[in-house]
């Protein structure tokens, strides 16, 4: 099970040296809206090359969202279905639909690299 999970993360690509084209939209009024539609303590959502957030992102948070931009580049509109499928895969093995989603794990790894840079 763990091995399959790792393979899946690899398939969702993580190319930290490649910075994709992106735009960040900081809109504080999105905070309560996203809290209702997404998850309670949400910060940002990436749709294509656009990152929508309710406050400015730090370097690690941006790295997380840029990983999602790369995932969008790779999958196009079908990323929505692929993300939903990854959530269902997580749920089917009694894991969390968001935290254990393979796309989120890849994005967290991207963020971890930046956190490591800050520490070092």
Provide the binding-site residues for Zn ion, judged by CB under 5 A: 104, 107
The rounded distance, in Å, linking the Cα atoms of 97 and 86 is 8
Minimum CB distance to Zn ion, residue 104 (Å): 5
Minimum CB distance to Zn ion, residue 29 (Å): 21
Among the listed residues 111, 105, 100, the one whose alpha carbon sits nearest the alpha carbon of residue 9: 105
Closest to Zn ion by CB, 104 vs 114, is: 104
Q: Half-sphere exposure of 24 toward its Cβ, with a 13 Å CA cutoff?
A: 17
Minimum CB distance to Zn ion, residue 15 (Å): 16
The rounded distance, in Å, linking the Cα atoms of 75 and 109 is 19
What is the residue-wise DSSP string for 53-69?
A: ESS---HHHHHHHHHHH
Say how many residues make up the chain: 120
Minimum CB distance to Zn ion, residue 91 (Å): 17
Strand partners, 23: 50
């Amino acid at each position: 099970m763990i091995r399959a999970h790792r393979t899946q993360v690899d398939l969702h690509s993580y190319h930290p040296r490649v910075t994709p084209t992106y735009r960040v939209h900081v809109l504080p009024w999105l905070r309560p809206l996203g809290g209702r539609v997404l998850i309670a303590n949400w910060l940002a959502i990436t749709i294509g090359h656009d990152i929508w957030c309710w406050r400015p992102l730090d370097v690690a948070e941006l790295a997380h969202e840029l990983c999602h931009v790369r995932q969008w580049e790779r999958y196009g509109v079908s990323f929505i279905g692929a993300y939903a499928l990854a959530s269902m895969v997580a749920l089917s093995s009694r894991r969390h639909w968001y935290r254990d989603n393979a796309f989120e794990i890849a994005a967290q790894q991207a963020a971890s690299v930046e956190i490591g840079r800050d520490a070092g």
